[in-house]
A and B are shown apart, each in its own frame.
Chain A
Amino acid sequence: MKNLIPYFTLGYPDNTKLCRFLDILPVEKINYIEFGFPSSDPRYDGPVIRKTHSVGNHNFSESVYSKYFDYFYRNRIKMYSLSYYSDIKDRFDEFINYLQVNNFSGIIIPDLIIDYFNDSKSIINELNKREFEYIPFFSPATPDFVIRDIAAITDSWVYYGLQPSTGIEIPYELDYTTERINELLPRREITYGFGIKTDEDIKNLMKNGGSGVAIGTYLVKMIDAGDEEGFIEYIDKMRGVLNE
C-alpha cells in the first residue's frame, strides 16, 4: 500500500479541536502519521505551518496526546515525529525516550543535515543504536553525495521535500526531480512532501515511482475551517488516487 501521511502540528489550533480531527481521521485509509512537535523556530517551514507551530507552542500538552499515540499504535499506524534539532538538542535522549515510550517509529529532523551537518552522522548512528528510525529528509538542494552518504547509514523510507519549504510554490520540474532521486536511490521508498495538493500532483509522483505522499499545509485549511466532512472526504479521495 502506498503511504498516505497526514501531518498535524500538536496543539494546533488547540488541543480539543485537533483531537476532534484525530478522532475522525479514517485510520484504515492511512498507514503513517506525522506529528509536528511545536518548534520555537520552524525555520524551514512556510507561513502556514509556521503559524501552527507558534500557536501549538502555547497549547501543546503532552498528557492530552498519549492516548492518541496509543490509539494509532494499536491501529498499526506508524507514527513519526517532526522535530527541529535546534529544539531538542539539549534534551535529545530524554525526547527520544519519550517518543519510544509512546511507540513512535521514528523521527524526521528538517534542520539536521542543514544546520548540524558535521554532527549529523553521529546523531543518526545514535538513533540507529536505539533502533529508532531516522527518516532522511532531502530536498532538491541536497547535494548528490550527501543523499548517498546519509542513505547508506539508514534503511527507512526517505522524505523528499519538493519545495524549499512547506506550502511554497516555486516552479520545478517534477519528472526531472523524481528521476534524479530514483537514480540516486534505486529500491528505496521515496515519500514526497511539501506543496502537494492536487490529485494530479499525486498521480504524477506515483507514476514516477513514488512510494507515498505527506500532506500538511493543505490540511491546515480544513482544520482552520473546522471542515470535518471535507477533511474525511479529502483523505478518502487521496487514498483513492494513491491506490489507482
Chain B
Amino acid sequence: MITAVNRDIMPENWYNVVPDLPEPLAPPRDSKQEISSINLLNKILPREVLKQEFTFRRYEKIPDEVMEQYEQIGRPTPLIRAKNLEKYLDYRGKIFYKYEGATATGSHKINTAIPQAYYAMKEGVKGVTTETGAGQWGSATALAASLYGLPAQIFMVRISFEQKPLRKTVMNLYNGNVVASPSTLTEYGRKILKEHPDTPGTLGIGISEAVEYALDHDYRYMVASVMNVALTHQSVIGQETKKQLELIGEHADVLIGCVGGGSNFGGFTFPFIPDGDETEIIATTADEVPKFSKGDYKYDLVDSAGVLPQMRMYSLGADFVPPTIYAGGLRYHGASPSLSLLINRGRIKSDEVTESQVKEALRIFANTQGVIAAPESGHAIATAINYAKSHKNEGKTIVVNVSGHGMLDLSIFGERQ
C-alpha cells in the first residue's frame, strides 16, 4: 500500500559514508602486475554503478524508476518494537528491529539488486550474472533482472545449493538460471573442480566465476556486497530506520547487525555515522568466520581468482574455506573496506556468535516475535539478546537489523528434539 507516510519514510537519496570516514579510504589496488583490474571494472560493472563505486558524493539521488520498484517490493520495511522479546528478557529498555525480511524476496539484497539491474538495463547489456551464498542475493538478482527484462546467470555456492534446494526453485521462478559453483560454465570453475572435486565452494570462487562469465558474455556483474556501491544502495535501511525512530520520538543507543560482506550492516548503520559517536554500533560475524578478531587488516583479494582489484579490509585470506555453517551469507572471507576501516579505528565494535547460539536466538525470536529470521540475521539477534542480558537496567534503546527471513533455511533446526 502506498501512502503519503510511506513516501515520507523512504529517503530520496542514497547515503555514501566515504566522505564522512575518519581517515581516507585506501583505494582499490590492482591484483596483477601487468594489467589493471581497476580498469577492467569498466567491462564488469554497469557504468553508473562503477561511477557510484568511486564517487565521493555524500548523497546520490535515487532514480524515480528505482523508487517505484522499491515500493513494489515492500519498502519502506517495518520497524517494530520487540515488546515480547523485551518481556521475555526482562529488559528495562527498548528493543526495536528493522525487518528486511518483509521485502518480496525476503531480505535486504533486493535494495541494491534493483538499482544495479536498472542501470544495466539502461545501458543495454545482454544480461547480468552473480554469485550467491545462501541464495538470498541470487533470488534478489533474479527478480530484479526479470523486472527489467534481463536474463540472469547465477553461480550458487555448492554447499548452499545442496542445503537449500528450494532457493533454486525460487530463482527459477524469477526466471534466473542457477548452477552450483564451482561449475563447468567457466574456466576457473573447471580448474577448481579438477583440483578439488569435493569442494563445498566459497563465495570467492562464485564471484570469480560470475566475473569471468560477465567478461565472456558481455553481461554485467551484480555486486552483492563488500564494494562501496552496494553499501550505498543499502543505506535506505538505515535512513528509513532513522526516520521511523524520529517519527515516534525515539533515539537509538545501540545498533546491531550481522556482517557477511557488510552490505546490510553498512546500509543499516552508516547513516548514523555523521551524527557523532553517541550511538554504539556492533557488527556480528559468525564465530566460524572470525574475520574481525582473527583476520588481518590488509590488502587482499576480493575474489579467489584475483580478477577484481584488491581492497584493504579485514580478511581471513581469499583461499579461506569456511566451515559449512547454515548462514551461507556470512561465509565470506573479508568485509567491506569502509566497514573494516571503522572497525580498525574502533568506531564500530565487533562480536562473534556460534551456530548453536544463533539457533537458540532464532528460536527465542520466533517464539516471542513470531518471525523466523534468516540464520545470518540470527547472528545479530544473538548479539542483541546478549547485549540486553548484560545491560538490563540501563534503559538503552537497542535497534537490530533483521536482514532477512529464514523460511527457506528451516533445515537449520533439523528434527525438533
Contacts and interface: CB of A to CB of B under 8 A. Distances in A.
Interface stretch (A2-10, A136-144, A196-204, A236-244): A136-144
B39 A142 contact: no
Interface stretch (B24-32, B185-193, B199-207, B241-249): B24-32
B19 A115 contact: no
Contacts of B67: none
A80 B342 CA distance: 34
Given A47-B35, A173-B51, A143 B30 contact: no
B29 to A, nearest CB: 6
A212 B25 CA distance: 26
Interface in B14-56: 18-30, 33-36, 38-39, 41-42, 47, 50-51, 53-56
A43 B29 contact: yes
B56 A46 contact: no
Interface stretch (A25-33, A161-169, A219-227): A161-169
Nearest to B33: A50
Interface in B47-75: 47, 50-51, 53-57
A143 B19 contact: yes
Given A140-B54, A146-B24, A164-B54, 9 more contacts: A113-B24, A115-B26, A141-B25, A143-B24, A164-B28, A168-B36, A169-B42, A171-B42, A171-B47
Contacts of A167: 36, 39
Interface in A95-127: 113-115, 117
A44 interface: yes
A139 B47 CA distance: 20
26 contacts: A44-B27, A46-B38, A47-B33, A47-B34, A47-B35, A54-B33, A114-B26, A141-B24, A141-B25, A141-B27, A141-B54, A142-B56, A143-B19, A143-B23, A146-B23, A146-B24, A164-B27, A164-B28, A165-B38, A168-B36, A169-B42, A170-B42, A170-B50, A170-B51, A170-B53, A176-B57
B362 to A, nearest CB: 38
Of A139, A146, A171, most B-chain CB atoms within 10 Å: A171
A165 B27 contact: yes
B38 A170 contact: yes
Nearest to B23: A117
A134 B33 CA distance: 29
A164 to B, nearest CB: 4
B38 A143 contact: no
The 9 A-B pairs of least Cβ separation, nearest first, read: A164-B27, A140-B56, A117-B23, A171-B51, A142-B24, A47-B36, A141-B25, A170-B54, A168-B38
Contacts of A46: 30, 36, 38-39
B59 to A, nearest CB: 12
Interface of B: 18-30, 33-36, 38-39, 41-42, 47, 50-51, 53-57, 299
A47 B39 CA distance: 10
Contacts of A164: 27-28, 38, 54
A115 B50 CA distance: 24
A144 B19 contact: yes
A54 to B, nearest CB: 8
A172 B23 contact: no
A139 B23 CA distance: 13
A170 B23 CA distance: 22
A160 to B, nearest CB: 12
B25 to A, nearest CB: 5
Contact of A47 (B22, B24, B30): B30
A170 B36 CA distance: 11
Nearest to B41: A170
Contact of B27 (A47, A114, A144): A114
A67 interface: no
Contacts of B24: 113-114, 117, 139, 141-143, 146
Contacts of B54: 140-141, 164, 170, 172
A130 interface: no
A17 interface: no
Contacts of B299: 43
A20 interface: no
A75 B209 CA distance: 56
A180 interface: yes
Nearest to A43: B29
Interface string A42-58: 01101100110010000
Contacts of B41: 170
A122 to B, nearest CB: 15
Of B22, B24, B26, B39, most A-chain CB atoms within 10 Å: B24
Nearest to A150: B24
Nearest to A115: B26
Contacts of B42: 169-171
Contacts of B36: 46-47, 165, 167-168
Nearest to A177: B56
Contact of B56 (A43, A141, A168, A169): A141
Nearest to B57: A176
Contacts of B30: 46-47, 50, 165
A141 B51 contact: no
A8 B55 CA distance: 29
Nearest to B53: A170
Nearest to B54: A170
A46 B50 CA distance: 17
Nearest to B26: A114
A168 B37 CA distance: 10
B23 A141 contact: no
A96 to B, nearest CB: 23
Nearest to B18: A141
Contacts of A47: 30, 33-36
Nearest to B42: A169
Contacts of A44: 27, 29
B18 A143 contact: yes
A168 B53 CA distance: 14
